[in-house]
Amino acid sequence: MQITFLGTSSGVPTRSRNVSSVAVRLDQRAEVWLLDCGEGTQHQLLRSDLKSSQIRRIFVTHLHGDHIFGLMGLLASCGMAGSVSQMDIYGPPGLDEYLQASRRYSQTHFSYPLRVHTVQPGKVYADDHYEVTCTRLEHRVTAFGYRIQEKDKPGHFDAAKAKALGVPSGPLYGRLKRGETITLGDRTIDGSQLCGEVRPGRTLVYCTDTVYCEGAVQLAQNADVLIHESTYAHQDADMAYERLHSTSTMAAQVALRATAQQLFLTHFSPRYAPGSALQLEDLLLEAQAIFPNTKLAHDFLTYNIPQRT
């Protein structure tokens, strides 16, 4: 899995940071998923090496404008380009009504099927390779965090050993790679004996907008990557509690308690822009004092989640 940050500002865009969106490029398939779609996301896509024609699913955390105002523009452009065959969007109650009203009043017609799924805590989506779950966060409106779990992969298949056992290359190899047992003449061959150790699937967790909460900790358990909002510095904790956003230290505490591998801070208040008394580097230092493996996200930062061994 490869993640690309398309927007890392909170509330409003700045000269260097757009509002919230993260793209997830999936391995071994020409498919991109979006986490949130703030205003201008399609412009950010044009400035990246991602293709909007590959977007297949969009997961929306909540209905505040800096997370959804880019949806209709992106969906309309995909329709006009004729490059999308189908789109599935997942989000809280009210998302479908918002999109229907936007389509009705703008008289926008899509050339592809658009399916909107209202999510509840639990499993949101699953296929042969990935599973997506969500949980409630604590914000001023209904908000969800998402966990993308890659399913475990079979270990390395020993083709030379299979050949030595007289297994002809072809469909039987595929069955053995999946760990199945086959019959070859009067012999049975156990595919699990020809494969190395199972490779654990990778996990990406996305939590925004929220104040520190147990839901985020549980969702992020043992995640390879946790993307967590860090709207405020620790000294502005009163403002964070009032507005139900997180500080840098809250995000780090979630990562620490969840035993995550890597934390990316995002969704920064413009109050920490260059020239301000506090800078984003100060927020980074605050978080690293609690959870050392923390990085600041910035627009167009790309990160490949490493395969666990």
Question: Which residue type does 129 have?
Answer: H
Tens-digit pLDDT profile for residues 258-306: 999 999 999 999 999 888 899 999 999 999 999 999 999 999 999 999 9
Q: Span 52-62, mean pLDDT? A: 96
66 is annotated as an active-site residue: yes
Residue, of 168 and 223, whose pLDDT is higher:
223
2-153+199-304: CATH, from 3.60.15.10, 3.40.630.30, 3.90.1010.10, 1.10.760.10: 3.60.15.10
Decide if pLDDT at 234 tops 90.
Answer: yes
**CA atoms in the 13 A half-sphere facing the CB of 103:** 16
Q: Which of 66, 209, 224, 236 is catalytic?
A: 66
- The per-residue pLDDT for 145 is 98
Residue 44 CA, chain-centre distance (Å), reads 17
Domain assignments of the chain as residue spans, ordered by start: 2-153+199-304, 159-194
Q: DSSP for 61-106?
A: ----HHHHTTHHHHHHHHHHHT--S-EEEEESTTHHHHHHHHHHHH
> Which tokens hold the place of 249?
């230290």
Q: Which residues pair with 228 in a beta bridge?
A: 207, 265
Q: Is the pLDDT of residue 167 over 90?
A: no
* Backbone phi and psi for residue 106, each to the nearest 5 degrees, phi listed first: -95, -5
Whether 200 has a pLDDT exceeding 80, the answer reads yes
